[in-house]
Amino acid sequence: MRKPSLQFLALGLATANVLTGLFITTLLLNSYSNSNKTNKTETQPNNTTSYYQEQLGQKLDYKDYSYTLVQRSSLNIPIEKSTDFAGVLRKPLNSDQYEKYLEVTSNPDSAKNNPYLMWVDNSLYILIVDQNGAGSGEGVAKVIKIEDGSAKQYSCFYYSPEKFSDVNSIRTKKSDAGDLDCDNYSIKLLNNN
Q: What is the pLDDT of residues 110-163, one digit of tens each?
A: 999 999 999 999 999 999 999 999 888 899 999 999 998 899 999 999 999 988
123 in the same domain as 84: yes
88 in the same domain as 35: no
61 in the same domain as 39: no
108 in the same domain as 35: no
Count: domains in the chain: 2
For all residues of the chain together, what is the average pLDDT?
Answer: 80
Say if 48 falls within a structural domain: no
Say if 25 falls within a structural domain: yes
Angle, alpha carbons 142-144-147 (nearest 5°): 170
68 in the same domain as 11: no
57 in the same domain as 32: no
Rounded to whole angstroms, how far apart are CA atoms 38 and 84? 24
Please compute the mean of the pLDDT values over residues 91-115 and round it to a whole number.
94
Judged against a pLDDT cut of 80, whether residue 22 lies above it is answered with: no
121 in the same domain as 179: yes
151 in the same domain as 66: yes
In the prediction, which pLDDT does 23 show? 44
The pTM score is 0.72
What confidence tier does 168 reach under pLDDT thresholds 50, 70, 90?
Answer: confident
What confidence tier does 90 reach under pLDDT thresholds 50, 70, 90?
Answer: very high
- Least confident segment among 13-17, 87-91, 149-153: 13-17
The runs of H, that is alpha helices, within the chain are 6-43, 167-171
Judged against a pLDDT cut of 60, whether residue 64 lies above it is answered with: yes
167 in the same domain as 101: yes
57 in the same domain as 39: no
- Least confident segment among 28-37, 52-61, 149-158: 28-37
Say if 155 falls within a structural domain: yes
Range of the domain at 20: 1-43
Say if 150 falls within a structural domain: yes
Judged against a pLDDT cut of 80, whether residue 178 lies above it is answered with: no
The dihedrals phi and psi of 30, each to the nearest 5 degrees, come to -65, -40
In the prediction, which pLDDT does 175 show? 78
179 in the same domain as 133: yes
Judged against a pLDDT cut of 90, whether residue 66 lies above it is answered with: yes
Closest CA to 62 of 97, 88, 87, 28: 88
154 in the same domain as 108: yes
Of 123 and 41, the one with more pLDDT: 123
Rounded to whole angstroms, how far apart are CA atoms 93 and 71? 22
